């Protein structure tokens, strides 16, 4: 066999292992009984150790070296470049550390679920401390010599992103958001949409919207979980989850639309490139851009609620669903405690808090026991609110319980990408809002399929983003969108 054929066969085998591990992760968060946590941790830790050993085997490195010295086409060069970057990182990490992290993540997740339910951070703290220690160890090994230890973890999710990049961007964004919040703060808030609607009806609504947006139910499914997520298990099998609240239908529906954006990205990846490694998303910031585009730019728009209102009336006959009222409720601007419930204007403040805390964690300035107080101090300073308990504060997110340090900035990166994509799409699809009002989402999905989904990871996210939007300023695009939509709702302008 040629070196290229050997490489693709090895990558297919690795992808199969990753898919099997993903099935276990999905099951863990949706179906598995709590007492299964111990055995599941053992299963995932061995699978991830096995994957790591196969990927970092000298034979894989030899194949890359052979291909790097061979004449390749553009696609092959992109694949070899991708695998070289990942191989050079992974080969530094002992298999025992990979196994330890996998086990700690499973234990951490189940400890978090129970501790959050009991509102008891102390019960979760030892598992979290274990994850902090292992993550610091991993960061020190995987990318020695980086400017900041947090850079090593950022690179896992958005290659090339650094603390030096994020700090000034977050500072600028915080300043711009502060100016906007000062303008809308004194204005009266739109009324909340808190009508009680049965959960079965909400499930039917989520299923209908998911299908209408373009999620292929023959290649995926929708379930419930404690914290909504999406995961691709392989070509033709994408799982998304959501949650429902009897008195907050907009929150549950927002989660569904958010995860639908992730799921449609997974379904639109170039699966014909299986075996090359290029049939993957171009970083988590790009992934979040897809979910945030659908959740916010489309899903909080007035045309969307004009589409939605008659569908809701069909599920709850006799109820009056006014699109204007729901639109205004969906675009309330309010300093709040919970990230996933936050409006577009304050959401990135929640990410700034997590970024600052994670940087301090990687610098060794914070331990698990310090986090509740540090969290409250940061929320008081940045967001302007303080959580009454850990359940609505430091334990609200699943990420730390699963060892996903470095992921949170991807949300803001995604918001920025989405803002610029939206402006470019409005230029290319000038009748976009007419399509949305009629429930015709295919033109928007087709634009994203061509520009983003079908590209896979042939290019790094930052390069892909620039190839699509040119020299646009994403911070200006995001802030401009807030002034245009939310400013109009509140009757303020720059």
For 170-235, the DSSP string reads: HHHHHHHHHHHHHHHTTSPPPPP------HHHHHHHHHHHHHHHT--GGGEEEEE-SS--EEEEET
Rounded CA separation 372/375 (Å): 5
User: What pLDDT does 340 receive?
Assistant: 87
Among the ranges given (96-105, 124-133, 347-356), the one the predictor scored with the smallest mean pLDDT = 96-105
Positions marked active-site: 259
Q: What is the CATH number of domain 164-490?
A: 1.10.1370.30
User: What pLDDT does 381 receive?
Assistant: 95
More confident residue, 225 or 430: 430
For the segment 201-237, what is each residue's pLDDT rounded down to a tens digit?
A: 999 999 999 999 999 999 999 999 878 899 999 999 9
Q: Which pTM was predicted? A: 0.93
Taking the domains of the chain in order of start, what are their residue ranges? Answer: 3-142, 164-490
Mean pLDDT of 449-474: 96
Rounded CA separation 153/406 (Å): 5
Q: How far is CA 367 from its chain centroid?
A: 25
* pLDDT bracket for residue 1 (50, 70, 90): low
Rounded CA separation 444/160 (Å): 29
């Amino acid at each position: 066999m040629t070196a290229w054929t050997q490489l693709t066969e090895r990558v297919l085998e690795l992808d199969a292992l990753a898919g099997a591990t993903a099935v276990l992760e999905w099951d863990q968060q949706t179906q598995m009984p709590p007492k299964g946590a111990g055995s599941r941790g053992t299963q995932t830790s061995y699978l991830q150790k096995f994957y790591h050993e196969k990927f970092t085997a000298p034979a894989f490195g030899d194949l890359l070296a052979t291909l790097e010295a061979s004449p390749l086409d553009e696609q092959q060069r992109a694949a070899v470049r991708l695998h070289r970057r990942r191989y050079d990182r992974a080969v530094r990490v002992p298999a025992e550390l990979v196994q330890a992290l996998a086990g700690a993540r499973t234990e951490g997740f189940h400890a978090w679920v129970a501790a959050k339910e009991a509102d008891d951070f102390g019960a979760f703290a030892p598992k979290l401390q274990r994850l902090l220690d292992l993550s610091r160890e991993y960061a020190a090994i995987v990318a020695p010599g980086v400017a900041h230890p947090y850079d090593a973890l950022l690179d896992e999710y958005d290659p090339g992103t650094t603390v030096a990049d994020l700090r000034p961007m977050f500072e600028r964004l915080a300043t711009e958001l502060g100016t906007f919040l000062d303008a809308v703060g004194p204005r009266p808030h739109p009324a909340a949409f808190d009508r009680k609607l049965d959960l079965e009806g909400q499930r039917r609504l989520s299923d209908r919207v998911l299908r209408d947006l373009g999620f292929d139910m023959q290649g995926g499914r929708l379930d419930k979980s404690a914290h909504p997520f999406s995961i691709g298990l392989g070509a033709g099998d994408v799982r998304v989850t959501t949650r429902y609240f009897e008195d907050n239908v907009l929150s549950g529906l927002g989660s569904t639309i958010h995860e639908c954006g992730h799921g449609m990205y997974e379904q639109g990846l170039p699966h014909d490139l299986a075996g090359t490694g290029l049939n993957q998303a171009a970083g988590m910031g790009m992934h979040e851009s897809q979910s945030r585009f659908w959740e916010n730019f489309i899903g909080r728009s007035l045309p969307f609620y004009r589409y939605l209102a008659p569908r809701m009336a069909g599920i709850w006959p006799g109820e009056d669903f006014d699109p204007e009222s729901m639109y205004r409720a969906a675009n309330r601007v309010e300093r709040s405690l919970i990230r996933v419930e936050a409006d577009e204007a304050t959401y990135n403040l929640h990410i700034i808090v997590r970024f600052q805390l994670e940087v301090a964690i990687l610098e060794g300035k914070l331990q698990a026991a310090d986090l509740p107080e540090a969290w409250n101090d940061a929320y008081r300073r940045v967001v302007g609110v303080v959580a009454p308990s850990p359940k609505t504060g430091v334990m609200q997110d699943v990420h730390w319980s699963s060892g996903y340090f470095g992921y949170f900035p991807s949300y803001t990166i995604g918001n920025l990408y989405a803002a610029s994509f939206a402006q470019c799409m409005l230029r290319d699809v000038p009748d976009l809002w007419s399509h949305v009002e009629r429930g015709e989402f295919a033109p928007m999905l087709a634009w994203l399929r061509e520009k983003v989904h079908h590209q896979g990871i042939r290019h790094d996210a930052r390069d892909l983003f620039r190839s699509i939007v040119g020299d646009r300023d994403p911070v200006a695009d995001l802030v401009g969108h807030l002034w245009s939509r939310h400013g109009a709702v509140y009757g303020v302008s720059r």
